Amino acid sequence: MNAWLYLTKKEFRLGLPAFLIALILFSGVIAAGIIAGNRLGFEDEIMSVTFMIVIALHTFFLAFYLYYSLNTERKRLHLWLHTPMSIAGLLSSKLFTGFVFMLSTLIISVILAMANLSATFSLFSQESLFNTLGTISIAILLAALFISAVFLLLWSIFLTFSQKWNDFFSFLLTVILFFVSVWAYGSFISLPFVQMLTNWGGIQAGDIITGFEVTYREEAVDVQTMKDATVFYIGNFVRDLILAVIMFIAACWIIERKVEV
């Protein structure tokens, strides 16, 4: 445990540049929103959209962090892989560090978004904003973990391919495998049997967005009806989380058994 904590402390130093790059990107998006809002005269509305964009960008934060960190490690791969710690310990340290960095900026972004939305739109109650942004944040964290697991698996496959071929051809094969996997996964989760197993724990959008009293009709579209008809299934999140764990284990196995340095 002490070795893992020491490694994680080192990871915070190693991954700090990636965190600063993401911070600069988020700051740039916010600055662009401020400039656009001042020029167009819709400061509050544009800033609300800007903060939601920043929150959404966190979906790819962890994958970007892992790319930066693992690309740095690849320059001295023989030293990294020959440490006494297991591959799972090495990768989990990077995941934990990236998750902490991501969580810090996400919390700040959600607080700023809530303050701005509360001051700009009076249609939503504080409870509604809290529920909505909280649900979005949880969904983004889970999506970030899933995407990072996909990246780790693809990275391990790329390392395996690069043992035999050059980086360009290995990258091309990995991309092809990625798109084939996406097609196979989409076909798999569309099977009636799989949907029966995973479509449980339904949460209607109307249960999240409370205090929204306005019903708007145009071309026979009822926003309230749409809100009640929108359902999120907890089972789908559990399915993807389990798959993420499986991909993480697979990535560890591939690196440990197939990658030679």
Residue 245 has pLDDT above 60, yes or no: yes
Please say whether the beta carbons of 99 and 142 come within 8 A: no
Which residues constitute the domain of residue 231? 2-258
Q: Which two tokens stand for residue 91?
A: 């990768």
Percent of residues, the chain, with pLDDT higher than 90: 34
The DSSP annotation for 1-20 comes to: -HHHHHHHHHHHHHHHHHHH
Residue 209 has pLDDT above 60, yes or no: no
Residue 79 has pLDDT above 50, yes or no: yes
Residue 242 has pLDDT above 50, yes or no: yes
* Confidence at 6, pLDDT banded by 50, 70, 90: confident
Domain count for the chain, please give it: 1
Please say whether the beta carbons of 27 and 50 come within 8 A: no
Mean pLDDT of 94-104: 93
* Confidence at 210, pLDDT banded by 50, 70, 90: low
